[in-house]
Amino acid sequence: MSDPSGERLAVRKTYKLFIGGAFPRSESGRSYVVTDTHGNFLANAALASRKDARDAVVAARAAVKPWSKAPAYNRGQILYRVAEMLEGRRAQFVTEVLDAEGVSSSEAARLVDAAIDRWVWYAGWADKYAQALGSSNPVAGPYFDFSTPEPTGVVAVLAPQSSSLLGLVSVVAPVIVSGNAAVVVASEQQPLPAITLSEVLATSDLPAGVVNLLTGLTAEIAPWLASHLDVNAIDLTGAPLELWPELERAASDNVKRVLRPTETEAEWSADPGLRRISTFVETKTVWHPIGV
């Protein structure tokens, strides 16, 4: 389609949410304009509501049991497959990171490559973190005593506001690698790399509901996720600092695990260590008689 001058008109996009492996519109029908760092129009994004957040939690809860029961090696293969598919759409991600963050082309390429490598890094830990975080405990008696990490369940993840892809991957991958399911609230002003990542996840081998993505206002969605009784943990990374006390109070109603971030935006490229994996697992200890 062309305008009167003969130039082709770009297709204006209105992106949807990602819930339960599908791409529904917000039940509210609301959307908002996403622009680049110069104020140029990029797309419309869905403005998620409280009902959308509830639907995402339902989808995540349904996904937790089969995903947590999947062999660790298989979870690692699936995370690696995500990295493969992200690599295949590298050029698109570079463009979207450039538009979202206003960095140079070379820096955008570096950030995308780091995000791909981050998926590979966590894929490698899928069948190893249990050995690093678990233990065989000495006991006084004829027993084996093992402590092993198990997923905590449904985790609400408030994604970083200023690291549209690398920061997003750095908070999502460690949640799902251990068998949790995630409800992710994307960066408000920089949601397009997250939306494109959801398209990658939808066409990879990741089971439906393991990652659910909401776009919109973090301050509007986060309190409902923090107070939701079927959410087991929440990562406050992308929440405004002044909102933390309210979210922590809401989370205390069902004794959620709460992660207060320690990273600064400049540190997402650093070695992430195992802190984010260990935060969202619970240590279970099993006793077993020797010889039985």
Q: Nearest 5°: phi and psi at 197?
A: -60, -40
Tell me the pTM.
0.92
- Which percentage of the chain shows pLDDT scores above 90? 80
Q: If you average pLDDT over every residue of the chain, what do you get? A: 93
Nearest to 73 by CA among 117, 21, 129, 151: 129
Note the pLDDT tens digit of each residue in 119-152: 999 999 999 999 999 877 788 788 777 788 999 9
Give the relative orientation of helices 72-88 and 105-125 as an angle to the nearest 10 degrees: 160
User: Is 185 within 8 Å of 159 (Cβ atoms)?
Assistant: yes
Q: Which CATH number fits domain 14-36+51-263+272-289: 2.60.40.10, 3.40.50.300, 3.40.605.10, 3.30.413.10?
A: 3.40.605.10
What residues does each domain of the chain span?
A: 14-36+51-263+272-289
